Amino acid sequence: MKIFVTGGAGFIGSNFIFYMLKQHPDYKIVCLDSLTYAGNLMTLIPAFDNPNFSFVKIDITNRAGIYNLFEKENPDVVVNFAAESHVDRSIVNPEIFLQTNILGTQVLMDACRKFGTKRFHQVSTDEVYGDLPLDRPDLFFTESTPLHTSSPYSASKASADLLVLAYIRTYKLSATISRCSNNYGPYQFPEKLIPLMISNAQKNIPLPVYGDGLNVRDWLYVEDHCAAIDLILEKGKIGEVYNIGGHNEKNNLDVVKTIIKYVGKGEITFVKDRAGHDRRYAINPNKIHTELGWLPATSFDVGIKKTIEWYLNNNEWLSNISSGKYLEYYDKYYAKK
């Protein structure tokens, strides 16, 4: 079994690679990543010694390059994590989000069709459903909740989902989609809430909470997301969408206060709200639970403690990724080849 993992030098993709190499020692994993600011080869150091792992620097929008790679490597499965993933950046500059998240997905699916790849899996997000009101805790996103996006990021992800569904119906592409809630864990780029707050607390920089801090996210430990995707690849039904989430809703203020407690310091500052800021996300994971038997294994209390400890013990990773030193690492890595 050979799997192409796109975006594998980023947060969830790298965790997925580690997970798959451990769970399936006989699988071959090829990581395809263009190494944007969010992709970091240093993150993949634990995988480089594994003979079943290889890395290719490539942009998923590069049709000719992607076709060459498919022809050469002939993957059985493609799992598409590659994306521009940060909502705030999409508000400042939407264009690259449309290019990578929509057109990049199209190129990968065209390659799957052209070279007869047996399976394509699109890693999507709960943000495609828009948001829920805070005063209706009885409401949750199901797979049939209408798509109703708020940011250029979520609009680009929803567009890609629609394109995947169109390819399934029109070209009989063998594909599945998963829509997951907010992930946290090791190797997340420190522009996202949890690593940013840990990093700022450590450096005695104020912790910037948007608006009133009462926005709710449904947090899932990254390894549980990886396990869910693995299960969907094994047992998921072609053409289906699976929501992934663990009923773990917290408002931002509570998350930040938990971080301050574990790090032992940190001062909150309330800053201007994000434009179009989604109020609440909450996944109903009933389908993946009842049909595939998936349940999250890590509670928020355990996961957040593990995550904070990981960042505190991996200061070098954090400072390198923030300083752009990983680009030097890239040059060094390739100079050796």
Distance CA 184, CA 266 (A): 19
Q: Please tell me which residue in 33, 84, 126, 223 is annotated as part of the active site.
A: 126
Q: How far is the CB of 219 from ligand NAD (least distance, A)?
A: 9
Distance CA 304, CA 31 (A): 27
42 binds ligand NAD (CB under 6 A): no
310 binds ligand DAU (CB under 6 A): no
11 binds ligand NAD (CB under 6 A): yes
* Contacted entry of ligand NAD, ligand DAU, none for residue 9, CB cut-off 5 to 8 Å set by kind: ligand NAD
What is the number of residues in the chain? 337
125 binds ligand DAU (CB under 6 A): yes
Cβ-contact 245, 126 below 8 angstroms: yes
Q: CA 234 → CA 28, 44, 179, 292, distances in Å? A: 16, 24, 17, 9
Residue nearest to ligand DAU according to CB distances in the complex: 125
Q: CA 58 → CA 35, 55, 61, 67, 86, distances in Å? A: 8, 9, 9, 11, 20
Structure tokens at 183: 């992930």
Query: Which range in 4-12, 109-117, 320-328, 329-337 contacts ligand NAD by CB under 6 A?
Result: 4-12
Identify residues 187-216 at the interface with ligand DAU (CB under 6 A): 192-193, 196, 208-210, 215
Q: How far is the CB of 217 from ligand DAU (least distance, A)?
A: 5
Pattern 281-300, binding to ligand DAU, x per CB under 6 A? Answer: x-------------------
**Size of site (CB under 6 A) for ligand NAD:** 30
Cβ-contact 250, 217 below 8 angstroms: yes
| Nearer of residues 125 and 200 to ligand NAD, judged by Cβ | 125
90 binds ligand NAD (CB under 6 A): no
Which residue's structure tokens are 């090829």?
30
SS3 85: coil
Distance CA 145, CA 141 (A): 6
Burial of 237 (0-12, 13-18, 19+ CB in 10 A): exposed
- Nearest CA to 287 among 129, 138, 105, 145? 145
Residue 249 has, within 13 A of its CA and on its CB side, a CA count of 17
* Contacted entry of ligand DAU, ligand NAD, none for residue 104, CB cut-off 5 to 8 Å set by kind: ligand NAD
| 167 catalytic residue (yes or no) | no
270 binds ligand DAU (CB under 6 A): no
Residues of the shown chain interacting with ligand DAU in the complex, contacts defined by CB under 6 A:
85-87, 125-127, 181-182, 192-193, 196, 208-210, 215, 217, 252, 274, 281
Which residues are marked as active site?
Answer: 126-127, 153
Residues lying near ligand NAD in the complex (CB under 6 A): 6-7, 9-13, 33-36, 38-39, 59-61, 81-85, 100, 104, 123, 125, 157, 180, 182-183, 189
